[in-house]
Amino acid sequence: MFEKILIANRGEIALRVVRACREMGIQSVAVHSTSDVDAMHVRMADESICIGPPPGAQSYLSIPAIVSACEITGAQAVHPGYGFLSENAKFAQILEDHELKFIGPSAEHIRLMGDKITAKDTMKGLGVPCVPGSDGGMETLDEATALGRQIGYPVIVKATAGGGGRGMKLAKSAGEMESAFHTARSEAKAAFGNDEVYVEKYLGKPRHVEVQVFGDGKGKAVHLGERDCSLQRRHQKVLEEAPGPTIDATTRARIGKTCAEAVARINYAGAGTVEFLYEDGEFYFIEMNTRLQVEHPVTESIYGVDLVREQIRVAAGEPISFSQKSLQIDGHSIEIRINAEKLPLFSPSPGRITQYHAPGGLGVRMDSAIYDGYSIPPHYDSLIGKLIVHGRDRPEALARLGRALSELIVDGIDTNVPLFDALLREPAIQSGNYNIHWLEKWLSKNFE
Ligand code: MV4
């Protein structure tokens, strides 16, 4: 096992990794920018090192700074968290070249899934159900138009270098294809330096259902069910839950097995998420994320598994500590993302937290790196914490979420907490009857 792990991240996820390290008897190294000297992840880690000025590109995204920090501190492995360098194949490769272990999948698997056409082609070949659409990229407008006619409108044009909602254009009819195709291409070129696009049948009212998989890198893999992350605003998740309100045990076992077998076949190592659109009882693969996700705690809650600990074990060459058969779902879990932002426009709201009180009690977990008197710097994303509740069933989890929210105090800055108070009063949230468009529609009526 590793003796020392460097955490190439900040905020709540860096603290999450520090916690796993401490329970495993592993020394942790925090890295930080000059604006993060007083950050909680720096205080909680066994040691820390400054890696540069506040902008991400010069600190948390700087590969030379992080490799140097490993050499100075003697860390043997790097946990990238989520965001920043977590899905950067070049970073994984450079660590390997320096005989440092990247706690995550191989550079090859990151690259494979980072190219959305290759990802889809690979998953299709492994028996994972995909959205109907082009096999590979669309070189010309004529090709895209012919495909649109074949699969039927509406269709969506997506950038192969995109993902997470960036670089997508909807064509509702043949007449809209020319504009969708050219706009998608030029936006993809500008954003990613790669103008390759592909075309898919557009699904009108799906849910976002993602399957958590975990591989040992040696041909074994398990699944840990699904999360429903349909409640999103501008491609940012707002609330996630597990199990999915519309997924039964038989369906879960079937799609889970398909995903686990697929990643086992490619010797995938560590945590991964297979993203689907789910509509009318069918799963359609869209993307695979090769990192630990923000919303991993809802899966941990219902399965009683520490996913970061498993990531570290597998990276060190140890087996996954549980079998598929031993995994049993216990109850229901819901996570809300608490952001430093001002409603109704969701504008960033950095500044000093004058008072903070975290909720507690049975079934309540607060993953956050804020504290009384902490100043949220303006340089990073607005996530300041995740409130995760667990109950014996969905109604109990919802009641517990309302109760926990009533205890939470974050003063001195604006947060999106009032949004959740309002959401909990909605029948669609109480019943679980929502899709990927529900939140934006509701916001346009009730907030903006
Ligand atoms: C789609 C789609 C409808 N049909 N693909 C957006 C993010 C990226 N991961 C995939 N996305 C979508 N792909 C087809 N063929 C609708 C979306 C989409 C969406 C997906 C998940 C969660 C929220 C969303 C909001 C708008 C659009």
Residue 286: C-alpha distances to residues 52, 156, 164, 250, 421 (Å): 36, 12, 10, 22, 32
Query: To test the ligand 1 pocket, which listed residue (147, 436, 437, 439) has its Cβ within 8 A of the most ligand atoms?
Result: 436
Query: What band does 47 get if pLDDT is binned at 50, 70 and 90?
Result: very high
Distance CA(179)–CA(185), nearest Å, equals 10
Burial of residue 432 (CB within 10 Å: 0-12, 13-18, 19+) is: middle
Give the tokens for residue 426.
């909605």
Q: How far is the CA of 314 from the centre of ligand 1 (A)?
A: 32
H/E stretch holding 314: helix 307-315
Strand partners, 269: 216
Rounded to the nearest angstrom, the gap between the alpha carbon of residue 379 and the centroid of all alpha carbons in its chain is 20
| pLDDT tens per residue across span 109-165 | 999 999 999 999 999 999 999 999 999 999 999 999 999 999 999 999 999 998 877
> Active site includes 19?
no
Strand partners, 133: 200
Query: What band does 167 get if pLDDT is binned at 50, 70 and 90?
Result: confident
Q: Whose CA is nearest to atom 10 of ligand 1?
A: 165
Distance CA(235)–CA(436), nearest Å, equals 9
Q: 432, 367 in Cβ contact below 8 A?
A: no
H/E stretch holding 292: none
**What pLDDT is attached to residue 42?**
98
**What pLDDT is attached to residue 101?**
98
For the Cβ of 286 lying below 6 angstroms from any atom of ligand 1, the answer is yes
Q: How far is the CA of 222 from the centre of ligand 1 (A)?
A: 26
Q: Which residues contact 195 (CB under 8 A, 6 or more apart)?
A: 159, 185, 186, 188, 189
Give the range among 19-23, 128-132, 186-190, 303-307 with minimum mean pLDDT.
186-190
Q: 389, 420 in Cβ contact below 8 A?
A: no
**What pLDDT is attached to residue 349?**
96
Distance CA(335)–CA(363), nearest Å, equals 12
Strand partners, 197: 159
Query: What band does 182 get if pLDDT is binned at 50, 70 and 90?
Result: very high
Q: 401, 391 in Cβ contact below 8 A?
A: no
- Ligand 1 atom at minimum distance from 200 CA: 15
**What pLDDT is attached to residue 84?**
98
Q: How far is the CA of 193 from the centre of ligand 1 (A)?
A: 22
Length of the chain: 448
**What pLDDT is attached to residue 410?**
98
Burial of residue 445 (CB within 10 Å: 0-12, 13-18, 19+) is: exposed
**What pLDDT is attached to residue 447?**
82
Q: Whose CA is nearest to atom 6 of ligand 1?
A: 165
Query: What band does 422 get if pLDDT is binned at 50, 70 and 90?
Result: very high
Distance CA(119)–CA(231), nearest Å, equals 25
Distance CA(181)–CA(171), nearest Å, equals 8
pTM: 0.98
**What pLDDT is attached to residue 118?**
97
**What pLDDT is attached to residue 165?**
77
Residue 224 confidence (pLDDT) above 90: yes
Q: Whose CA is nearest to atom 17 of ligand 1?
A: 165
Q: How many CA atoms does the CB half-sphere of 139 hold within 13 Å?
A: 0
**What pLDDT is attached to residue 261?**
98
| pLDDT tens per residue across span 227-273 | 999 999 999 999 999 999 999 999 999 999 999 999 999 999 999 99
- Ligand 1 atom at minimum distance from 201 CA: 15
For the Cβ of 203 lying below 6 angstroms from any atom of ligand 1, the answer is yes
C-beta neighbour count of 447 within 10 angstroms: 14
H/E stretch holding 60: none
- Ligand 1 atom at minimum distance from 230 CA: 22
**What pLDDT is attached to residue 88?**
98
Residue 448 confidence (pLDDT) above 80: no
> Which one from 207, 227, 291, 394 is the annotated catalytic residue?
291
Could you give phi then psi for residue 140, rounded to 5 degrees?
Answer: -125, 160
| pLDDT tens per residue across span 308-366 | 999 999 999 999 999 999 999 999 999 999 999 999 999 999 999 999 999 999 999 99
Burial of residue 139 (CB within 10 Å: 0-12, 13-18, 19+) is: exposed
